[in-house]
Amino acid sequence: MSSIVFEKIISLNFANLLNAIGLDFEILSSYTFVVVCLGTMILATVAGMVGTITVLKGQSLIGDAIGHSSYPGIIIAFMICMSLDSVSLMIGAIISGTVAFIIIQFIDKNSKLNLDAVLAVILSAFFGLGMVLKSFIQGHPVYGKVPQGGLSNYIFGQAAFIRTIDVHLILIVAIPSLLILFLFYKEFKIFIFDEVYAKSIGLSSTLMYVLLVLITMSVIATGLKLVGAILISSFLIVPGITALQWSNRFSHVLIIAAIVGSVSAFIGTYISSVYAGMSTGPCIIVVMSGLAFISMFISPKGLLANWLRRRKYLNDLSKSIFD
């Protein structure tokens, strides 16, 4: 029985199969699509896992502030290297994001300002600096000669323009980040759950913070070209938020976040390839958020389950009263 089905599947042309479920084989097999899709999927997977830690540490808006703050680093790197080379721009983004992060921590620790006010001010000041520098080089006699059209892609992202080298770059960041997450899984777990206890057994929380900031920064920096400074924070936090609706185990939450990230990236990239003119990053984010809202509704902890539970409770209550 099963072998017949199996043969049938084999005998079906793969392309027909895809067409049968409503996917366009032509697009799926095009080189551009494969490159873009690989890039966004790997990025979304890693960002989803790393971002889960950010969400659990209660720092989801810090990611947003750092995303915005990495923009001037891109321009400064361009001014120093006089080229649109992805690697140098990425390093620029990491440096300026880190500087912003340090300033945020410094002000938060040393003033009576609330963290969200600090974030808002730093975010706009850094992004403002990016705007200033961008307008400075636009008409500049020296910088003006180098083509700089790609620079504005870092604000909203231009996934459609990424090339194989960018996918390599994403992999170079993704693999060590995942490795760090995997190797220090146990340490991250106790660091997030109970920092004081972690310290009491000799785990250095400074070291853990450095590791966390390091991988978060590099994920943000690689994501800029695909998703842009404004929206990169959703790649970090939305998969984590979604995954938290489904499981009570950290390991499962991480895996679900990775799946949510990569599935959204695939669907989003596909939609943006089918409908010309749609930007990839925003499409992925809409899919991601859609999954998040659906999860909040139908997950075991979600609104629907809560509502049913309450109804059942009331029913039982009224029964026990009337019986």
Partner 1 sequence: MIYPSLFLTKMSDFLNYNQQMLLTLIITGIACSILGCFLVLNKLSMLTDALSHSILLGIVLAYFVTKDLNSPLLLIGASIFGVFTVYAIGLLSKTRLVKSDDAVGIIFPLFFSLAVILISTFARNVHLDTDIVLMGQVIMIPLNTMTVFGVELPKALFYMLIILLINLIFVSVFLKELKVSSFDPEFATLAGFSSGFLFYALMTLTSFTAVAAFDAVGAILVIALFVGPAASAYMLTKSLKKMLLVSTVFSTVNSISGFYLAIAFNVSISGMIAVITGLTTFMTVLLNRQGIITAIYLRHKNRKEFRLDLLIMHLGNHEDQQDAELELGFTTIKDHLYWDQETVERRLNRLIDQGFVQRNHERKIYCLTEKGRLRYDMIKVDYGM
Partner 2 sequence: MSENIIVKVEDLTMAYHDKPVLWDNDVNIIENTRTAIIGPNGAGKSTLLKGILGLQKTLSGTVEIMGKSVKQVHKKIAYIPQSNSVNWDFPTTALDVVLMGRYVHLGWIKRPGKKDIEIAKNALYKMGMQDYAKRQISQLSGGQKQRVFIARAIAQNAEIYFMDEPLAGVDKNTEKVIIDFLKDSQKQGKTSIVIHHDLNTLADYFDYLVILNKRIIAQGKMSKTLTQANLDAADMGGGFKINV
The footprint of partner 2 (CB under 8 A) covers: 56-58, 183-187, 189-190, 192-197, 199-203, 244, 247-250, 252-253
Residue 199 binding partner per list partner 2, partner 1, none, with a CB distance cut-off of 5 to 8 Å that depends on partner kind: partner 2
Task: Give the DSSP H/E element, type plus range, for residue 16.
Answer: helix 14-20
Residue 113 binding partner per list partner 2, partner 1, none, with a CB distance cut-off of 5 to 8 Å that depends on partner kind: partner 1
Sheet strands (E) in the chain: none
Tokens 């006699």, located at residue: 141
Let me know if 152 is exposed, middle or buried by CB neighbors in 10 A (0-12, 13-18, 19+). exposed
Q: Which residues are at the interface with partner 1 (CB under 8 A)?
A: 55, 58-61, 63-64, 68, 103, 107, 110-114, 116-136, 139, 152, 155-156, 230-231, 233-234, 237-238, 241, 245, 275, 277-279, 281-283, 285-286, 289, 292, 296, 301-303
The encoded tokens of residue 244 equal: 């938290």
- Write down the least CB distance from residue 234 to partner 1, Å: 4
Q: Measured from the CB atom, is 149 or 202 closer to partner 2?
A: 202
- Write down the least CB distance from residue 199 to partner 1, Å: 21
The answer for residues whose C-beta is within 8 angstroms of residue 217's C-beta and 6 or more apart is: 66, 94, 97, 98, 101
Q: Measured from the CB atom, is 252 or 310 closer to partner 2?
A: 252
Q: Measured from the CB atom, is 180 or 267 closer to partner 1?
A: 267
φ/ψ (deg, to 5) at 147: -65, 130
Q: How many helices (H) and strands (E) does the chain have?
A: 17, 0
The answer for residues whose C-beta is within 8 angstroms of residue 58's C-beta and 6 or more apart is: none
Residue 150 binding partner per list partner 1, partner 2, none, with a CB distance cut-off of 5 to 8 Å that depends on partner kind: none
The runs of H, that is alpha helices, within 82-163 are 86-110, 115-138, 153-156
Residue 278 binding partner per list partner 1, partner 2, none, with a CB distance cut-off of 5 to 8 Å that depends on partner kind: partner 1
Residue 234 binding partner per list partner 2, partner 1, none, with a CB distance cut-off of 5 to 8 Å that depends on partner kind: partner 1
